[in-house]
Amino acid sequence: PSAYYFPTAGRMQQVEVLKGTSSAMYGPRTTGGVVNMLSRTIPEQALAGQVNLSAGEDGFGKAHAYVGGAGQNVSSVFEVFRYQADGFKDVNHTGDDTGFVKNDIMAKVMINSDNDAKYYQELEFKLKYSDEDSDETYMGLTEADFKSDPYSRYSASQLDNMDTSHKQLQINHHIKLSDRFTLGTTAYYNEFSRNWYKTSKVGTWAVNPENSEYLFDEDGEHVIAKSSLGSGGIEKAAAFDQNTNNELLYVDVKANSRDYESKGIQTVLDADFGAHQVKFGARYHEDEMDRFQWVDKYTLDNSAYEMTLTEAGIHGADSNRIDSAEAIALFVHDEYTFGDFIFNAGLRYEDMTISRKEWKGIIDRNEPTTKDISNDVDVLLPSLAVTYRVNNDLVIIGGVQKGFAPPAPGNDKAENEESINYELGLRFNQDTLSAEALFFYSDYDNMHGNCTASQGCDEENVGDQYNAGEVKVSGLEAKAGYEFAAGSVVIPVGLTYTFTETEFQNSFESGLDTWGNVEAGFELPYVPENQLQLTVGVVGEKWRSDILVRYMDEMRTTAGQGSLIADEAIDSRTVVDMAAHYTIAENQEITFNVDNLLDKEYMATRTHGSIMVGKPRSVTLGYKYSF
């Protein structure tokens, strides 16, 4: 939970989106399907590689290269990815950068038997390392400051920084037992560490409302009135940057230091029974999150706008706990072809123990814990999908699947998140025309609400989980594509539309900033009703250019119903992107990209009682060489 880790998308060779019965092969969270990131495979040639360089506005730079090759029995690939930027925001009064630097390195070595071996085998070793240093913050802007300077940041956020590292070892073994059976086994180990050092509270000396004089405590010291980061804290930070009096702002900066570990082994048997293509799988998995956090106290003066450390926090004093899980999973998935019908049936079983050990207010973990809770969870997750081929151009698809997410550790009141998800639709493909329409409906018996700092949750409630009870989510996804021929060029056009409706079915109270006190009939926050995407390309012999137009409807930022309230909503927006490619030689290409071509200023989120702005226009130029 809250790892703030995601694989480097630019390094991936392929991305799979798996829905419906496919999720039976993955887990434990199966509600929304799976995004599977596929890293680079070892080249089949004796030697192959690529160098990809880009540079752009706001100090953006990217260097991506790989080289590898295949021998008779040993093959390998080595890949490096680095990208960075100065950021598109500036810290008030200091002008500090707000960008990032990220490095990602991967290596694979594969040893294989001879092709004519009785049992063909492959043994692959994968090593991966990445790190990140980004000056990111939760501190957005007030409405007034967003309108006057949306790309600014308050000086109280000047030390906010995310520092991460990720290490991975993966061993894959593949053996062909016969023409019918193939066995694949993966053992994996991941370490991830992150410390998001970010402002959590800001404040000034408290003032006596009767005479406007500063308040003193019984020792004659000024009383400091601090507000947690939220509407109160944001307003104090905003007022300080606008004030020219020689006053101090008191700032708490929390070191959200956490270490993560995950490890396990999974084996999958692929069986070819002709009309039945069956997968049998088993996995044993362990993971852990170790929180050992502290808070440093600073003062910030508005003469030089420099932060001065006044009290260094004691490591582990803010949060000292370990969350962990052990899980066993079994699954079977069968794809059965019968005439013009294809049946996909999946069944997954999860058995897990989720635990929390906490030493609240205690530094030494040799001392007795203040909380030691374990939850045992087991669940059976069936799914079924049917595809019917009406003719060579048209198919009808439908499916039903049980969605699941386990409760958070340390919360004995939380229940499983469970839902039944339905889909029904059509797919049509004929020459240069393709179209699809899919109706979806998710019926939640219980939806989870996780209280995290990123959702603006009150500090004392972070880590809690709420049972929202019954929720209905339904809608329609539709898309169409066509390729027009115009002389020597081709013009591909694509249109995608999504309509979504949501509704809480019962009333409850939560500490979530985005939910609040919910009444039956309220809509979920941050779910736009309408989304539309239009792509138009022009393709020549050696070049291609594409325009992408993305529309997102207005959306509420807290649960509610009826007309949207101005300060609890995000306006609709249309953002236009452009990309162009030109082949200067068989193995060389130049790219030109413009994100947010029309430089649209738009609001991205209102969490923490403040506003975060979306990315402005950004131009990049790239060069790619392949061999």
Give percent above pLDDT 90 in the chain: 80
> If DSSP codes are grouped into helix, strand and coil, which group holds residue 372?
strand
Name the residue with tokens 């994968």.
126
For 177-305, where are the E strands, in sequence order?
181-205, 224-228, 248-273, 276-301
Does residue 356 contact residue 383 with C-beta atoms inside 8 Å? no
Query: Of 276, 412, 406, 433, whose CA–CA distance to 351 is shortest?
Result: 406
pLDDT for residue 461: 58
The dihedrals phi and psi of 233, each to the nearest 5 degrees, come to -65, -40
Digit-coded pLDDT (tens) for 432-465: 999 999 999 999 998 887 666 655 565 555 666 7
Query: Of 354, 336, 355, 352, whose CA–CA distance to 344 is shortest?
Result: 336
The dihedrals phi and psi of 542, each to the nearest 5 degrees, come to -120, 10
Lowest mean per-residue pLDDT among 8-22, 86-100, 106-120, 317-331? 8-22
Say yes or no to pLDDT of 104 above 70.
yes
Q: What is the pTM for the complete model shown?
A: 0.91
pLDDT for residue 409: 83
* Per-position DSSP letters for 452-491, written without gaps between them: -GGGT--GGGTT-EEE---EEEEEEEEEEEEEEEETTEEE
Name the residue with tokens 């023409």.
179
Digit-coded pLDDT (tens) for 512-534: 767 778 899 999 999 999 999 99
485-519: buried (b, 16+ CB within 10 Å) or exposed (e) per residue? eeeeeeebebbbbbbbebebbeeeebbbbbbbebe
Digit-coded pLDDT (tens) for 226-277: 888 877 889 999 999 988 666 789 999 999 999 999 999 999 999 999 999 9
Say yes or no to pLDDT of 20 above 80.
no
Taking 3-state DSSP, the helix, strand and coil percentages for the chain, each rounded to the nearest 5, stand at: 5, 60, 35
Query: Of 608, 618, 613, 609, whose CA–CA distance to 152 is shortest?
Result: 613
C-alpha–C-alpha distance, residues 513 and 55, integer Å: 39
The dihedrals phi and psi of 607, each to the nearest 5 degrees, come to -65, 160
pLDDT for residue 110: 98
Peptide bond into 492 cis (omega under 30): no
> Beta-carbon neighbour count of residue 213 at 10 Å?
8
CA distances from residue 60 to 80, 102, 150, 613 in whole angstroms, order as listed = 17, 12, 20, 19
> If DSSP codes are grouped into helix, strand and coil, which group holds residue 614?
coil
Q: CB burial class (10 A; 0-12, 13-18, 19+) of residue 400? A: middle
Q: What's the sign of the alpha-carbon dihedral 555, 559, 563, 565? A: negative
C-alpha–C-alpha distance, residues 160 and 195, integer Å: 10
> Residue 75 — very low, low, confident or very high, per pLDDT cuts 50/70/90?
very high
Name the residue with tokens 């370990």.
322
